[in-house]
Amino acid sequence: MLVIAAPGQGAQVPGFLAPWLDLPGVADRLMAWSDLAGCDLIACGTTAGAEEITDTAIAQPLLVAASLAAAEALSGGLGHLRKQAGIAAGHSVGELAAGAIAGVLTPEDAMRLVSVRGRAMAKAAAAEATGMTAVLGGDQDEVLAALGAHGLTPANVNGAGQIVAAGTTTQLAALAADPPAGVRLRPLTVAGAFHTAHMAPAVAALREAAAGMTVRDPAIVLISNADGAPVKSGRDWLERIVTQVSTPVRWDRCMHTMAGLGASALIELPPGGTLTGLARRALPQLERVALKTPDDLDAARSLLAEHGIPEHHEDGPTADWRLLVAAQAGTFRAAGAAQDAAPGARVRPGAPLGHVQVRRDQKPVTADFAAVVLEWLVEDGDPVSEGQPLVRLQPEDA
């Protein structure tokens, strides 16, 4: 199964968009999206300097536009891509690109929303001198304790030995003067303490912008930064997008879910490199391609052909499978039909497939539709986390 991943703020570098303009249609798309973004995306991605594209109101629309343009180029349109890719995920602002790739909202609405997001977060960041610093290495518990002692928030828990601390510049300076043992500190080129309480003023503006948007349920697995769980409802996803600006990004849990779903490959959209680097350390079994320039498209298409879902002809069946996930953290126990529900077995609506147990509390695992078992992702007695995928089902009427 293949993951399409969209990077977040801080990944941008001056001129990274320039080679993509040579592809047919990309410049036209970026010009149209510029009107929605409220900035000249072509100029920002080609001739603008590092300081200009660090501006949150510029960086966020630029990153989402770059990811969407490359995703369209990769497979001849987002509709084709979502028929081949099994999972979409984005880091921070990259979640908006992932949502459009999964079909929850249109690229145009993604650009409208990211424009509001970028401006609102820039305004919140301007209220106080804040920032973010990557904390690399060290013992995770000791790192988290040190951040707490300095009043800092672990705004990004990225896995692979990386936690991003966020807070006031004074708090970050105190951390730099007294770091935890065995860590390296790397200040990030961002304009504020994103995904912390410092961004709370941006939530209301984003909620107002999101209120009138039409959304659909994800057409493929769409993983949320909030807890790493797959999101089933488009409305739930949109609400998570609104509140996520002031709450931490749990990319470590996103990667855990990818592994649990059986992901075998990952393509990172431009400006690629950050998320493939994290995957290289945390998920070494994944094959990876980082799309930095159009020269990387052939390698990405080969990965898509090898690990993606074969695209069916329009007169043939379509891929439409669903996941059942754990409603709480605990221990999975197979029960009833699950004892005999090997791959290929039919499951009646409401038939018990098992439950997740915590002490005396049991949360049932059932489907409200007739289905065929495609793949079990856990075994009886396995510990599971909330939102962890348990079984993949093919609805019988799909």
Whether the Cβ atoms of residue 158 and residue 143 lie closer than 8 Å to each other: no
Q: Is 224 a catalytic residue?
A: no
Q: Is 115 a catalytic residue?
A: no
CB under 8 Å to 325, separation ≥6 — which residues?
229, 230, 387, 388, 389, 390
Phi, psi of 147 (to 5 degrees): -60, -45
CB under 8 Å to 162, separation ≥6 — which residues?
134, 135, 136, 156, 278
CB under 8 Å to 43, separation ≥6 — which residues?
none
CB under 8 Å to 66, separation ≥6 — which residues?
16, 17, 20, 45, 269, 270, 271
Q: Which of 150, 195, 198, 355 is catalytic?
A: 195
CB under 8 Å to 142, separation ≥6 — which residues?
180, 181
Q: How far apart are CA 224 and CA 175, in angstroms?
A: 29
CB under 8 Å to 51, separation ≥6 — which residues?
none
What sections of 150-197 are H helices per DSSP?
169-177
Tell me the one-letter amino acid at 44.
Answer: C
Q: What angle (nearest 5°) sits at the alpha carbon of residue 92, between those of residues 194 and 139?
A: 75
Note the Cα 137 to chain centre separation in Å.
23
What sections of the chain are H helices per DSSP?
26-37, 41-46, 50-54, 56-75, 78-84, 94-101, 107-126, 140-149, 169-177, 200-211, 234-244, 251-260, 274-282, 297-307
CB under 8 Å to 204, separation ≥6 — which residues?
none
Note the Cα 263 to chain centre separation in Å.
14
The token pair at 176 is 């730099």
Question: If we measure between CA atoms, which residue out of 84, 28, 57, 100 comes closest to residue 302?
Answer: 84
Q: Which of 67, 75, 92, 385 is catalytic?
A: 92
Q: How far apart are CA 177 and CA 3, in angstroms?
A: 39
The token pair at 203 is 């939530």
Q: Is residue 313 helix, strand or coil?
A: coil
Among all residues, which ones are annotated catalytic?
A: 92, 195
